[in-house]
A and B are shown apart, each in its own frame.
Chain A
Amino acid sequence: MSAVIARLSRGAAAVRWYLRALTGEDRWDRHVELCAAQGRTPMTRREFERHRTDVAAAHAHERCC
């Protein structure tokens, strides 16, 4: 029983990891990690996300037919 639960929770974690990566939600975590590794103070989440969307705005957004 517990093995099934463990397997299910591993599956759910994998799905969550994938969706966070796909939508770019995990970028913030990476920024915090990178700053920690380099000994810098990270931006606030608000500043970081704003910066990220502003960068995205300067690029064409590709969607096909």
Chain B
Amino acid sequence: MLVWSAVAVVGAVCWSVLALSRGESVSALWILFAALSSYAIGYRFYSRFIARRVLQVDDHRATPAERLENGRDFEVTDRRVLFGHHFAAIAGAGPLVGPVLAAQMGYLPGTVWIIVGVLLAGAVQDMVVLFFSMRRNGQSLGQMIRAEIGVVGGIAALIAVFAIMILILAVLALIVVNALAESPWGVFSIALTIPIALFMGVYLRVLRPGRVLEASLIGVVLLLAAIIGGGMVDGTPLGDALTLDKTTLVLALVVYGFVASVLPVWLLLTPRDYLSTFMKIGVIVLLAVSLVIAMPVLRNDAVSSFALAGNGPVFAGSLFPFVFITIACGALSGFHALISSGTTPKMLAKESQVRVIGYGGMLMESFVAISALIAACVLDPALYFSINAPAGATGATVEGASTFVANLGFSISPAELQAAADTIEEATLVSRTGGAPTLAYGISEIFETAFGGGLQAFWYHFAIMFEALFILTAVDAGTRVGRFMLQDTVGNVWKKFGDLTWWPASWIASAVVVGAWGGILYIGVTDPLGGINQLFPLFGIANQLLAAIALTLCTVLLVKHGKLRHAWVTGVPLVWVLVVTMTASFQKVFSADPAVGYFAQRARYADALDRGEVLAPAVDASAMQQVVTNSTVNGVLQSVFALLTLVVVANGVLVVVRAVRAGGLPTTEAPAEPSRIVEPAGLFPTAEERALLAAERDRLDREKAGSSR
């Protein structure tokens, strides 16, 4: 109890400093420790309450992994190993990019949302979905919605999941394109990851089957060599050949995405995934350590003027609802519901482990988001806005950027901007939108302060590589998941198409999926208004809408199980995310402000086009036409996502009303069977669990001795 009181005091002090400091220099460590102490308290008390009182996990009940063990998808897995698997599956580029963009609003709104959001919404969603899927033999989110809410909701959810996934892939790819455009160093090292992964694939299949650690070690060494080698290509003919513009990179990514999705997984996807997982863990640990050593100071305001006025250059819209949209992953991410109802529930050894895997895994992702937020907030705001303002605003020149940020009230000279780009050996940093260059620059500064050695250019490209690597892994894997979904859906009507080994079907399905995200990617890359500021809000809203769908399912299930008294646990986050997403959707569709509303933007440009005028930042009539088309596409997508979600929610409300009247309804939960295995609940076994484990070992030894006699 003494320990927990101490943790609470530390947390309270950190929060007070963050909330009360104004106009003085605030150390980033206050954010770090506010986060860590809040996570500790949330995990210890709230997640235990959810596990014991709300879900009533029962370790005497066998999990699907124990009942249906088949050595393939159903398999009792060590909780620490499963934690690693689950974390590697949920954590991607999302928690790195969202907080960086949200830093436009200041450090406080992002910090509060990431921490409060994860404790009360994000981690709760992951844990509860994991629990319900586990009780249903690992059914997917779509299957559970169809079975527990209804066919209409199920179909709407299926379409929403597919559409949202396409959008997410497009936005992730857009981040990579923006980070690699006109950067021969970046292109060189990222391109080399493909032959490195292929080599590892052949190594593991042919040369030394199964020696994953060996192959990964070789891979990581080659990867570092590729980053160092990249520093030498600039200025050479090879460097010139690798200086690619955005449209060329789009084409390259689309071709790559298609090939990666039809190649055997052992050749490219699996080895790349090993690399990206090791890099992910390595960088996160390195970042946490270097933050403590470097102790950087937050350079931006606690709450910036853009937060209230809603006229920020990175993305338009005011604090409410747009901070909660921009930071999705790290606080609340609907996509995790797909992972929590995927392979993880089929591998749990004990019911009580949903707490450490579901809630704990999400806390870890939230910590990544906090680190990313810090990396963006320790940058000089003038530099931050020069990097993140769209090219239409800065003219993509250092002079233009310097003037532009001066109008925002910040000061940086063209020479200083050029010097910043020179330290990381990039041609320019102006309007390198998408979040990745900002984060990489922030990380390189922190690492340089912590470790020294004049390696900032290396660290920058190391960070770019790290982000690009797992974005590309997500693009490969996402394209394959999309392909499987498409083949499965079409397979209901045309059986042959559902055969995953029939190549015409897999090629066609892959081409459709790649074409869909490639198309949106192209729209984003060529958008005269800047792609990220147009598409990222759409991405964030889509992810949160998926969370609304998942939380609807959780709430419906709590009520159906007769736990109306505790339905607020997922009901309150559901209401919150609905308010946020519906406000945001409404503004994006109906706002009269052309910077916020897609259709207002469309009307503004369409009217000007009719009058024969050209509005900045468009430069000619065809760019004007492009803005009109893009705003229409974005507005329609936005409306469709919101409507699909409302269909699921409405269907859910009907079921809740029926269930409340009846005092509960039958569900598709698998019947209980007694468990025969003993496993600890948390990462570290308690004294009580140790005694149980020892007794179990004795029993097994006796059995063995008995049977061999």
Chain A residue nearest to B164 in the complex (CB): A65
For the complex formed, measure the closest distance between the CB of A16 and the CB atoms of chain B, giving whole angstroms.
Answer: 8
Q: Is A60 an interface residue (CB 8 A)?
A: yes
Knowing A25-B211, A65-B335, say if A18 contacts B89 (CB, 8 Å). Answer: no
Chain A interface residue count, CB cutoff 8 Å, equals 29
Q: Please determine whether A48 and B480 come into contact, CB atoms closer than 8 angstroms.
A: no
Say yes or no: B81 contacts A53, CB within 8 Å. no
Closest-by-CB residue of B relative to A29 is: B210
Stretch with Cβ within 8 A of A (4 or more), from B52-60, B451-459, B470-478, B639-647: B470-478
The answer to whether B209 touches A25 (Cβ under 8 A) is no
Q: Does B390 contact A (CB under 8 A)?
A: no
> Does the CB pair A55–B72 fall under 8 Å?
yes
CB closest residue in chain B, given A46:
B209
A3 — which chain B residues lie within 8 A by C-beta? none
Contacts of A58 in B (CB 8 A): 500
Chain B residue, CB-CB nearest to A63:
B477
Within 8 A of B (CB), among A21-64: 21-25, 27-28, 45-46, 48-50, 52-53, 55-64
Give the docked Cα–Cα distance between A65 and B392 (Å).
Answer: 28
Given contacts A45-B209, A45-B210, contact A65 B168 (CB under 8 A): yes
Interface residues of B in 469-500 (CB under 8 A from A): 470, 473-474, 476-478, 480-481, 484, 500
Q: Which among A53, A56, A61 is the interface contact of B205 at CB below 8 angstroms?
A: A53
CB distance from A65 to the nearest CB of B (A): 4
On chain A, the residues within 8 Å of B395 by CB distance are none
Report how far A27 CA is from B204 CA in the complex, Å. 14
A60 to B540, CA, bound (A): 24
Are A60 and B481 in contact (CB-based, < 8 A)? yes
Question: Is A64 touching B474 in the complex (CB atoms < 8 A)?
Answer: yes
In the complex, what residue of chain A is closest to B475 when comparing beta carbons? A63
Instruction: Tell me how far the C-beta of A46 lies from the nearest C-beta in chain B, rounded to whole angstroms.
Output: 5
User: In the bound complex, what is the Cα–Cα distance between A53 and B219 (angstroms)?
Assistant: 19
Whether B624 sits at the interface, judged by CB under 8 Å, is no
Main secondary structure, interface of B, reads: helix
Chain B residues within 8 Å of A59, by CB: 73, 343
Assess the B212–A63 pair: CB atoms within 8 A. Answer: no
- A4 to B453 alpha-carbon distance, docked (Å): 31
Closest A residue by C-beta to B90 = A64
Name the contact of A25 in the complex, choosing from B72, B73, B89, B210 (C-beta under 8 A): B210
Complex alpha-carbon distance, A23 and B278, angstroms: 10
Query: What's the nearest-Cβ distance from chain A to residue B28, in Å?
Result: 25
Please tell me if A8 contacts chain B, counting CB pairs below 8 Å: no
Complex Cα distance, B84 from A33, in Å, reads 24
Complex contacts, A19 vs chain B, CB 8 Å = 213
User: B75-105: which have CB < 8 Å to A?
Assistant: 78, 80-81, 84-85, 88-94
Contacts of A7 in B (CB 8 A): none
Smallest CB gap from A65: residue in B: B94
Given A25-B210, A25-B213, A50-B209, also A56-B329 (CB < 8 A): no
Instruction: Please name all residues of chain A whose beta carbon is closer than 8 Å to the beta carbon of B88 when the two chains form the complex.
Output: 63
Contact A23-B477, Cβ < 8 Å, known A18-B81, A18-B84, A49-B204? no
Decide if B507 is an interface residue (CB 8 Å cutoff): no
Q: Is B554 an interface residue when CB atoms closer than 8 A count as contact?
A: no
Task: For A61, give its contact among B73, B273, B274 (CB under 8 Å).
Answer: B273
A24 contacts B212, C-beta separation under 8 Å: yes
Given known A-B contacts A53-B205, A63-B473, A23 and B216 have beta carbons under 8 A apart? yes
**Shortest beta-carbon distance, A11 to chain B, in Å?**
15
* Alpha-carbon distance A19/B220, docked complex (angstroms): 14
B270, A22: Cβ atoms under 8 Å?
no
Within the complex, the shortest CB–CB distance from A50 to chain B, in Å, comes to 7
Contacts of A10 in B (CB 8 A): none
**Complex: how many Å from CA A10 to CA B73?**
31
Chain A contacts for B93, CB-based, 8 A: 65
Task: Please state if A65 and B92 are interface contacts (CB–CB under 8 Å).
Answer: yes
B338, A28: Cβ atoms closer than 8 Å: no
**From residue A17, how far is it (CB to closest CB) to chain B in Å?**
10
Nearest chain B CB to A29 CB, angstrom units: 10
Residue among A18, A20, A58, A63 facing the most chain B CB atoms (10 A cut-off): A63
Does B336 make an interface contact (CB < 8 A)? yes
Please determine whether B212 and A23 come into contact, CB atoms closer than 8 angstroms: yes
* B339 close to A (CB within 8 Å): yes
Determine the chain A residues whose CB is within 8 A of the CB of B277 once the complex forms: 22
B213 touches A64 (CB 8 A): no
Report chain B residues within 8 Å CB of A48. 209-210
Q: Is the CB of A21 within 8 A of B78?
A: yes
Is the CB of B269 closer than 8 A to any CB of chain A? yes
A50→B265 contact, CB < 8 A: no
Give the 8 A-B CB pairs with smallest separation, nearest first.
A63-B477, A49-B209, A23-B212, A65-B94, A49-B210, A53-B266, A25-B212, A21-B81
Give me 10 other A-B pairs in contact (C-beta within 8 A), A25-B212, A53-B265 excluded.
Answer: A25-B213, A49-B204, A58-B500, A62-B339, A63-B88, A64-B94, A64-B329, A64-B339, A65-B94, A65-B474
14 contacts between A and B (CB under 8 A): A18-B80, A18-B81, A20-B212, A22-B81, A53-B264, A60-B480, A60-B481, A61-B269, A61-B476, A63-B89, A64-B90, A64-B91, A64-B329, A65-B335
